[in-house]
Amino acid sequence: MHFDTIIKNGTVFTASDTFRSDVGIRDGKIAALAAGLDDADEIIDATGLYVMPGGIDSHVHIAQPSGDGIVMADDFASGTLSAAFGGNTTILPFCLQEKGTTLRESLKDYHAKADGQCHIDVSFHLILSDPTAYVLGQELPALVEDGYTSLKVFMTYENLRLRDDQILDTLDSARRSGALVMVHCENEDAIRYLIGKHERNGDLAPKFHALSGPAAAEREATHRALSLAEIVDTSIVIVHVSNRQAMEEIERARKRGGKVAGETCPQYLLLTADDLDAAELEGAKFVCSPPPRDKESQIACWEGLQNGTFELFSSDHCPFRYEDEGGKLNEKGKRNFRWIPNGIPGVETRLPILFSEGVSKGRIDINRFVALSSTNHAKQYGLYPQKGTIAIGSDADIALWDPSKKVTITNDILHHGADYTPYEGLEVQGWPVRVILRGATIVDGEAFTGAAGQGAYLRRAKVGVVSQNR
Ligand code: URP
Ligand code: ZN
Ligand code: ZN
Ligand code: ZN
């Protein structure tokens, strides 16, 4: 058999298997897995490398309107380029419905920003901020049929939060349409109360962001979201979980029969609230929600990645420039933490961090790495088995990792639009040295060898919460 490309001499890892095999690629798909393949236009020698499915990051914010003159640091060109260098071949950014607009209008704007710009494949989740009867009764069901099969709701942020009755209505519409709902769980009223208290005391530095969003506010909202899902009898994903108390709520809901998936992110493994207390205003670089917590929470999150409380490890990439009028240190943000835009960059560092801190340090094995970084995202959000595995017939989305390559993460080696990384100076072992999108090499060492606009938009299938291999 003749192939376009053969990857030879590597070790293949999927979420469930490890095997020595060549990979034959034809017309952008994996066409053969066997030893001794040799007839191809291009032979890639993967001696000493790990052959893994390209990463899928199912929690990414790009070019999302933020109001107040705040601008996100990545557009679709830079965000997807950065993702590619981080070993990813698909990302799922959010299309935000602004109040007073319909979902279709929001999608039209968002597609206009993305189409023709993407370096890797993308598919949008919706964010519902205005769940009117029209949106829930007519738009959402039709959009699910069009492949927009997941949406996020917020329990916090003044301009995004939904009331419990709105969440119930949204869950109900999602259940009937076959959409999966992701929930940002923090108690807005508790956070407002604490912000007000800190403001009255003149406590305005970045560290008071973390003190205004305590674990109890996350735990309470997680419990409430799970209860609302139980009442509607539908599946949900609890996103960006930061601490043990929220994890315990997820496990308790599962014991009651709840269908819930859990997600955590690199910031909850490597950062703590102390990072927000850095000298000058440097703490602003770490302002995100929920805030990073403490060492014990980091240990808890690792346990959750190991034992299956979490199926998903995502970046929650939400980049703002630090020294910028439209970024972290905007005029108001310099004076009061409540105006510092929430979110940190991380789409490029997610996988090297999980590989290094997880696989290289012996906390998880490589198959678990593949599950957490790629396969479970594809299964959860309706892309499997086209994406997320190395199998005959799947898209040839492959990352070749050098497990021994050591890299010191600094902002100048990254490709995002932010002017900093929260992980400056972190040494990692293990790096994606070649990234292949539907059969074409797009990243080769430090060179980008693909083209902007090659990223495809992916329609997704409907899936509830699927049970993952733990
Ligand atoms: O601080 C964060 N996480 N910003 C991004 C938006 C969100 O809540 O996911
Ligand atoms: Zn040929
Ligand atoms: Zn969120
Ligand atoms: Zn997010």
Per-residue pLDDT at 466: 64
Distance CA 414, CA 88 (A): 14
Which atom in ligand 1 lies closest to the alpha carbon of residue 239? Answer: 9
Burial 408-445, CB ≥16 within 10 A → b, else e: ebeeeebbbbbbbbbbeebebbbbbbbbbbbbbbbbee
Q: Ligand 2 centre and the CA of 54: distance in Å?
A: 24
Q: How far is CA 312 from the centre of its chain?
A: 8
Give the model confidence (pLDDT) of 374-410 as tens digits: 999 999 999 999 999 999 999 999 999 999 999 999 9
Give the model confidence (pLDDT) of 108-153 as tens digits: 999 999 999 999 999 999 999 999 999 999 999 999 999 999 999 9
Distance CA 223, CA 225 (A): 6
| Whether the predicted pLDDT of 18 surpasses 90 | yes
Nearest CA to ligand 1 atom 4: 343
Q: Ligand 4 centre and the CA of 345: distance in Å?
A: 11
Q: Residues 383, 90: contact at Cβ < 8 Å?
A: yes
- Is the Cβ atom of 265 under 6 angstroms away from ligand 1? no
Q: Please list, in sequence order, all residues whose beta carbon lies within 8 angstroms of the beta carbon of residue 201, skipping any fewer than 6 positions away.
A: none
Mutate to test the pocket of ligand 1, among 185, 212, 267, 318 (most ligand atoms within 8 A of CB): 318
| Whether the predicted pLDDT of 464 surpasses 80 | no
Q: How far is CA 65 from the centre of its chain?
A: 18
Mutate to test the pocket of ligand 1, among 62, 94, 240, 285 (most ligand atoms within 8 A of CB): 240
- Is the Cβ atom of 394 under 6 angstroms away from ligand 1? no
Distance CA 155, CA 49 (A): 43
**Strand partners of residue 68:** none
Hey, what amino acid is at 402?
A: D
**Residue 467's pLDDT band (cuts 50, 70, 90):** low
First to last CA, the chain: 37
Q: Which listed ligand is nearest to 40 at the C-alpha?
A: 2
The H or E element spanning position 144 is: helix 140-145
Q: Ligand 4 centre and the CA of 234: distance in Å?
A: 22
Domain boundaries 3-52+391-448, corresponding CATH code: 2.30.40.10
Nearest CA to ligand 1 atom 2: 343
For this complex, say whether ipTM is above 0.90: yes
- Is the Cβ atom of 350 under 6 angstroms away from ligand 1? no
Give the model confidence (pLDDT) of 33-68 as tens digits: 999 999 999 999 999 999 999 999 999 999 999 888
HSE, side-chain direction, 13 A CA sphere, residue 191: 24
- Is the Cβ atom of 343 under 6 angstroms away from ligand 1? yes
Per-residue pLDDT at 301: 99
Q: Ligand 1 centre and the CA of 41: distance in Å?
A: 44
- Is the Cβ atom of 184 under 6 angstroms away from ligand 1? yes
Per-residue pLDDT at 179: 97
Which atom in ligand 1 lies closest to the alpha carbon of residue 289? Answer: 1
**Residue 362's pLDDT band (cuts 50, 70, 90):** very high
Helix/strand/coil for 53:
strand
Per-residue pLDDT at 469: 44
Per-residue pLDDT at 465: 64
- The CATH number corresponding to 54-360 among 3.40.1160.10, 3.40.50.2300, 3.40.190.10, 3.20.20.140 equals 3.20.20.140
ω into 385 cis (within 30 of 0): yes
Q: Ligand 2 centre and the CA of 48: distance in Å?
A: 26
- Is the Cβ atom of 61 under 6 angstroms away from ligand 1? yes
Q: Which listed ligand is nearest to 267 at the C-alpha?
A: 1
Per-residue pLDDT at 452: 82
Q: Ligand 2 centre and the CA of 43: distance in Å?
A: 11
- Is the Cβ atom of 316 under 6 angstroms away from ligand 1? yes
Q: Ligand 3 centre and the CA of 1: distance in Å?
A: 48
Q: Which residues surround ligand 2, an ion (CB under 5 A)?
A: 41
Taking the domains of the chain in order of start, what are their residue ranges?
Answer: 3-52+391-448, 54-360
Share of the chain above pLDDT 70, in %: 99
Give the model confidence (pLDDT) of 312-336 as tens digits: 999 999 999 999 999 999 999 999 9
If one compares 221 and 463, the residue with the highest pLDDT of the two is 221
| Whether the predicted pLDDT of 98 surpasses 80 | yes
Q: Which pTM was predicted?
A: 0.98
Q: 10 Å Cβ neighbour count for 336?
A: 17
For β-strands 180-184 and 150-154, DSSP reports them as parallel
- Is the Cβ atom of 330 under 6 angstroms away from ligand 1? no
Per-residue pLDDT at 220: 98
